[in-house]
Chains A and B, each alone.
Chain A
Amino acid sequence: MNAGSMAFRTDATVGAKRGAQVNRLDGGLVNSSQVMNFTFDGKKFQGYEGDTLASALLANGVRLMGRSFKYHRPRGPLTAGSEEPNALVELRSGGRQEPNTRATVAELYDGLEANSQNRWPSLERDFMSINDRFSNFLTAGFYYKTFMWPAAFWEKLYEPIIRKAAGLGSISFEDDPDAYDKGFLHCDLLVIGAGPAGLSAALTAGHAGAQVILAEEDFLLGGRLNAETHEVGGMSGSDWAANTQAELATMSNVRIMPRTTIIGAYDHGIYGAVERVADHVIAPEAGKARQILWRIYSKRALLCVGSTERPIAFENNDRPGVMLAGAVRSYANRWAATPGEYVAVFTNNDDGHRTASDLMAKGVKVTAIIDTRADAPQMSSVEVLAGAQVIDTKGRLGLEWAQVRLANGMTRDIRCDALAVSGGWNPNVHLTCHQRGKPAWREDIAAFVPAGEIPTGMSVAGAANGDFSTAAALRTGTEGAVAALSDLGITATAADLPEAEDAPINVTPFWFVKEGKGRAWLDQQNDVTVKDVKLAHQENFKSVEHLKRYTTLGMATDQGKTSNMGGLAIMAELAGKQIPEVGTTIFRPPYTPVSFGVMAGRSSGKEFRPTRLTPSHKWASEHGATFVEVGQWMRAQWFTRKGETHWRQSVDREVVQTRKSVGVCDVTTLGKIDVQGKDAAEFMNKIYANAFAKLPVGKVRYGLMLREDGIAYDDGTAARFAEDHYVVTTTTANAVVVYRNMEFARQCLYPDLDVQLISTTEAWAQFAVAGPNARKLLQKVVDSDYDISNEAFPFMACGEVTVAGGCRARLFRISFSGELAYEIAVPTRYGDAMMQTLMEAGEEFDVVPYGTEALGVMRIEKGHAAGNELNGTTSALNLGMGKMVSKKKDCIGNVMSERAGMNTDDALKLVGFKPVKNTDQVLAGAHLMNATGEVNAKTDQGYITSACYSPILGSSIGIGFLKNGDTRKGETIRAVNPLEGKEIQVQVVSAHFVDPEGERLRG
């Protein structure tokens, strides 16, 4: 390096040590008055407002930004945009650490902290780069070939080692402290991309008064206008873009969304978008979103997403400093940064020459243009090597020399610390393919363009459609907007187009340099070489989809944006086909990586899903309740009293006190479905297995519901309030399912019946009052106008009453615990007061509130079935309710319940189990085996569904299903748990442990 070039530094460490922006050029769209301090691998740097992390690092002379996935080869940025395969970094630290962020799109902010990834101990000296020495072993498919045996080693040994050696960024495993929002937008026209085509389309549609959304992934609108030196309408492209943006901003019908990537095209004109609201600041404000996942409902969409330059593969083309020509131009023109002092250009098209002239205009030395075309145009100020190819590169941790095969067969080494490569441009067709659209090959531009069945309502303009010039982009943008709006009946007028460059495309396809024995990199993110594609072809993985999976070409965060085309071209050549015959792989959403945080939105932690609170929730919280989630309801599980240190103490006390005196439980959560109509009674007969039509008004009946296949699925009580009015009660967890099934029955199965349904579950606060003193307690609360004596209001009665001096209430005499019990309901707003009233009135009886655990213990003691017994495999017969399936009427599930297999002689029957040894614990899930004999599936006699400790019986008890159980009472059998080697002896007993005759509940 001579003294005159001291302004430029390209050694990765020199610039870092100096901390100066040695490769910063003049001009550009960065604001040099706003200095941003940042760190990369702990070293301090400065950049400017408007920089990306990549542009700021390049300006500081840092080209080495990462290590490759497999071989840990040193890599620098290849691009200046979201297509970047190499320059992946970890941004931020702690809970905010984000792996695999492309430095090329990470907007610089003051205090930014970035670290390189996939290297140890440092980026410059990475021990894992030893992999590169063993590259012969690590070719495509090496996993499949190498780690075949022993099979057991895969999961425990091979995979963990491979995962540690390969891979990209890491995560901190700390909770992300930031919030992410979701949102929904609607528009007439969604313009995707704000380059010349998008801006011109938005302007046209905006003037027409349409509702327009203009989404742009960059923080700056303008697309390539910001990266090129062409004038638009007599001003710089970036000025035109800024002016247009300013004009759009005055239109209330246009919503401009920078930093917003459209990630997927879905059905019916719906698009997914991620807006990075606060990724460009050190941290979002508290409570504000870092990112927003938008669902955009568009009537029409115009895709103006431009094109991506493609590289040419040649040996050692992955050295930091080898970049796409358009990216080099972007860094120079937009970000005022050059990747090196000496830049050479390697191209197969005219566009590459622009890079040379733009760089020279910025004072950067261009050492040569290597053009693969024999008829390459000449330039006066720089040597153009026509018909030449770059065949190799040299340099440690970065490019220093390019070796060129000249047209005359000689070789020449060209000094360059950056090589700008252009293999032509590929329209960004991705979103047109999200619904399986197949792009078509256009020979004149040697590229695929959108074709076939692109998403309904979508059209494409500008470079994304193969119209590469600025003038064509502006024209097709405005025309596209006019056409799209015309479909919607909105008249728009094509804008007066500013004058702009309209250069023809002049490209001769050239995909890879054939010379050289080393590795020519095709997919730099996945370390896929030209040789790997050849190997895949040789091993008969010829379909593009197989090629992709065998070599991993086109996978990972960049989705092969810079590599797919090269892979296809090589495969075509090997197969002796044309590129379009080889076809393309399917592009799927998301277009660029999306964080899991934004997909989760606000549904995380305690807000994972909404909860439902009972009317007595506040009271329960104040009285020591521990809550359990049941069908989204937060139900009190038990109420801990002073001195109780174990939940069993609380539950035992609640059970004993309820059975001894009285207990109160909030049962609002049980589903309540109001059934009315002239045919309500007939409808009830259909949905329940047992008969309801003749239930007298003012009475309640237990009912069992069957699925169509005859299996029991829900049970509960139904009350008849009038000839044409029932209220169905469901289990808590099944409330929605039952309501949905009833609606289905009403609308689809029995549309001729006059029935109206509506949920009233939460309209009424309902409390179970159970125990020998239940009536005495309620008599203090129910107004004295109502006689609730056993004679006037017997077991299974229901009626409307008033409580507490005139409050409307519904009273049901039903019992789940087996005790004398009622359920009393008041409008929910009075539920909290009702709970207090019941507890106050019950003081003289030492009333206790009880939770779901005590409720469960008491129902097991009583032998009542619940969800564990109605488990989707059991029938009414199994439950001991076979006779309830009325044969005098038809009901859902009736016919199918008669299937022979469901009515075998040795059918499972619900019975109870007591341990022979009093201290043994009966466990739900245990399988039942005969007293002696083998323990295996063939000898299985059934299983225990529910078990608990019964404080009343003083031992553990269970209920469950046993073959012929009803005839085996008194028999001693075994309850086994072979998985844990447990086995106890149990005696078969009636499931009704407490008050089997039912005297208490009728008393």
Chain B
Amino acid sequence: MANTVHNFGHKLKAITPLGGYDAQVDAFPGLTITERPDRALASLAARQGSEEQAASAAKGLLGMALPGPAAWSSAGDFTAWWMGPDLWMVDAPHDTHELLASQVKEAVGDAASVVEQTDGWCRFDFEGSRSLDVLERLTNANLRAAEAGVATRTSIEHVGCFVLCLEAGNKFAIIGPRSSAASLHHALVALAKSVI
């Protein structure tokens, strides 16, 4: 079972952003909202004058070019989305990449700054035919027009989030600050109940 929080040899038991030991799943007709604590994250910021070197080193590790503005791309275990000029978030399965930041840093060396971001965020996946009907009451991002590969920054219930379009019209990842997971989740579920 990938979508849960595992321990890594030590005695501390992990909890998800919503406070459970297993991921929260909320199912509605035409929409499933799934908490995703199973992803590791690391920010990657190219250093001044080393932009090309950083991009090329990242490509070597990730097996793909870093995406351009408002986009995400993925190859193998890795996904990356654009967060700002010369700034990306790299994402990989937590079970196999808990030390993702170290792995990325090793690859890019002094060409880029890398920071562990795994537990700075929570993620909820929207999947189903009613996704857009609910999302249009949550964010001003034009997700009806979004193709798979679109990544955008938006505000949901006053919380700054990233939204990735994983499958046009049908599947989206909402990534928000971990400490606000409960508020964000409340908003997602309240609006799903309102719409569906």
Contacts and interface: CB of A to CB of B under 8 A. Distances in A.
Interface in B36-77: 37, 43, 45, 47-49
A610 B9 CA distance: 35
A293 to B, nearest CB: 10
Contact of B117 (A297, A758, A804): A758
Given A186-B144, A297-B142, A826 B12 contact: yes
A802 interface: yes
Contacts of B167: none
Interface in A348-406: none
Contact of A829 (B5, B48, B177): B5
A832 B142 contact: no
B47 A754 contact: yes
A993 B165 CA distance: 57
Contacts of A182: 137
Given A676-B115, A760-B116, A804-B12, A609 B177 contact: no
B19 interface: yes
Given A806-B9, A837-B11, A759 B120 contact: yes
A231 B188 CA distance: 48
Interface in A810-846: 826-834, 837
B30 to A, nearest CB: 16
A490 to B, nearest CB: 14
Interface residues of A, number: 60
B4 to A, nearest CB: 11
A603 B190 CA distance: 12
Interface in B82-132: 87, 110, 112-113, 115-120
Nearest to B134: A183
A618 B19 contact: yes
Contacts of B116: 760, 763, 827
B3 interface: no
B117 A611 contact: no
6 contacts: A287-B194, A618-B15, A758-B45, A762-B177, A829-B14, A833-B15
Given A179-B194, A763-B178, 20 more contacts: A186-B142, A186-B145, A288-B194, A612-B179, A677-B47, A725-B113, A752-B48, A756-B87, A758-B43, A758-B45, A760-B117, A765-B119, A804-B11, A829-B14, A829-B15, A829-B118, A830-B13, A830-B14, A833-B15, A834-B12
B113 A295 contact: no
A761 interface: yes
A633 B177 CA distance: 12
Interface in B127-156: 136-137, 139-142, 144-145
A610 B12 contact: no
Given A803-B12, A834-B12, A612 B180 contact: yes
Contact of B10 (A603, A725, A804): A804
Given A297-B142, A830-B12, A833-B13, A181 B137 contact: yes
B194 A289 contact: yes
B117 A832 contact: no
B58 to A, nearest CB: 14
Interface in A651-688: 668, 674, 676-678
Nearest to B48: A754
Given A288-B194, A610-B158, A828-B178, A676 B117 contact: no
A803 B10 contact: yes
Greatest chain A CB density within 10 A among B11, B158, B186 is at: B11
B159 interface: yes
B191 interface: yes
A325 interface: no
B159 A805 contact: no
Contacts of B184: 610
Nearest 7 CB-CB pairs, A to B?
A610-B183, A828-B119, A676-B113, A763-B120, A612-B179, A756-B45, A833-B12
A832 B49 CA distance: 42
A292 interface: yes
A764 B119 contact: yes
Contacts of B37: 829
